[in-house]
Amino acid sequence: MTSSPTGGSAPEEGRYGEDLFAPEHPREAERIDAAALVFDPVTTRRLRALGAGPGSRCLEAGAGTGTVARWLLDEAGVDEVVALDRDTARLNALAGPRLRVITADLTDEALRPGGFDLIHARFVLMHLPQRRRIVTRLAKWLNPGGWLVLGDALEVPDPTDSTSAYRRTMDAMWQALRSTIGTDISSVPAYPHFLREEGLRDVAAELVGPPLVAGSPLALFWAETWRRMRPALEETGLVDAVVIDEALAYLASPRLAELGPGMAMAWGRRG
Ligand SMILES: C[S@@+](CC[C@H](N)C(=O)[O-])C[C@H]1O[C@@H](n2cnc3c(N)ncnc32)[C@H](O)[C@@H]1O
């Protein structure tokens, strides 16, 4: 089933998919899947540990290409998954009796998708300036005992390196993401606190940093992200075409040795 639960128009803020990462780009699904391939094992291990399984109704918020939604349905065997995204072109093919696809904007305050035993949002809130208010609303959609699980990027940059092409390009990327679509990873370490402020219990968090190795899906993800953002990277004034080319070559080279951005996951449950 595909539906729009409110029929209301989306707010103006939050331009992911418009100013950057257009969903119709021929390599966008591949780019999202490259990151999913790396982080799905970590995510699904955590969701299973939190009890995702038969008897649960789940919300995958900002579901992307639906890899986690599919896992919840096929591997964890949950009763129902609601896969919600602003762009559902890649999710519609997955819709079925136990998987409902909702085309909606998470920033839409009128959104009421129902109650859930598990709500998961990965690499979504970091892109939305309204992230703190959205956490409040996601927490309200939890059934008693239900888990809210948030996953977003976290950087552990080398403090002694401000000049390498890799560092300068990565810094330009975060700055460009912030100025174009409002991405901000600075509050990711505060997610456990946000969950506690919402009255959730058993709050905990972990940080995972998969190896950034030349030719790996993670290196391909960053390379494609930088290529797609080239004009925005140069507009920051932090890098030029030569630096970006050097950084791209480094990502593909056996010399690559970086503690790349990882993912912080935080979870808590309604009492
Ligand atoms: C980086 S992708 C992550 C996809 C998926 N969660 C994953 O980890 O593979 C971000 C997703 O969030 C969706 N998104 C961005 N802004 C949104 C909004 N305001 N409301 C709903 N979905 C949004 C995008 O369309 C995209 O599918």
Ligand 1 pocket test, candidate residues 13, 16, 133, most atoms within 8 A of CB: 16
Instruction: Supply the pLDDT for residue 3.
Output: 42
What is the dotted CATH code of the domain comprising 2-155+182-209+261-269?
A: 3.40.50.150
Give 85 Cα–ligand 1 centroid separation in angstroms.
Answer: 6
Q: What is the pLDDT of residue 23?
A: 81
Ligand 1 centroid–CA 7 distance in Å is 19
Residue 29: predicted pLDDT: 84
CA 260/CA 97 separation, integer angstroms: 39
pLDDT for 33 equals 87
Ligand 1: which residue has its CA nearest to atom 10? 124
Nearest alpha-carbon partner for 20 in 260, 237, 231: 231
pTM of the predicted structure, to 2 decimals: 0.93
Residue identifier of the C-alpha nearest atom 2 of ligand 1? 64
Give, in order, the Cα–Cα distances in Å from 261 to each of 78, 83, 116, 154, 174.
Answer: 31, 26, 30, 6, 11
The CB of 57 under 6 Å from ligand 1? The reply is no
For residue 34, the model assigns a pLDDT of: 87
Residue whose C-alpha is closest to residue 229's, from 185, 173, 183:
173
pLDDT tens per residue across span 127-185: 999 999 999 999 999 999 999 999 999 999 999 999 999 999 999 999 999 999 999 99
Polymer length of the chain: 271
Residue located nearest, by CA, to atom 8 of ligand 1: 122
Enumerate residue ranges in the chain where pLDDT < 50: 1-14
Q: Tell whether ligand 1 has an atom less than 6 A from the beta carbon of residue 124.
A: yes
Query: Alpha helices, DSSP H only, in the chain?
Result: 28-49, 67-74, 131-140, 165-181, 191-197, 217-228, 230-235, 241-251
Tokens 């030719």 correspond to 215
Name the residue with the closest Cα to ligand 1, atom 14.
Answer: 62
- The answer, yes or no, to whether any atom of ligand 1 lies below 6 A from the CB of 209, is no
| Per-residue tokens: 254 | 């056996």
Instruction: Give CA–CA dist 220/30, Å, rounded.
Output: 10
- By the 8 A CB rule, do 250 and 141 touch? no
| Phi, psi torsion values for 127, nearest 5 degrees | -90, -5
Instruction: Tell how far the Cα of 159 is from the centroid of ligand 1, in angstroms.
Output: 30
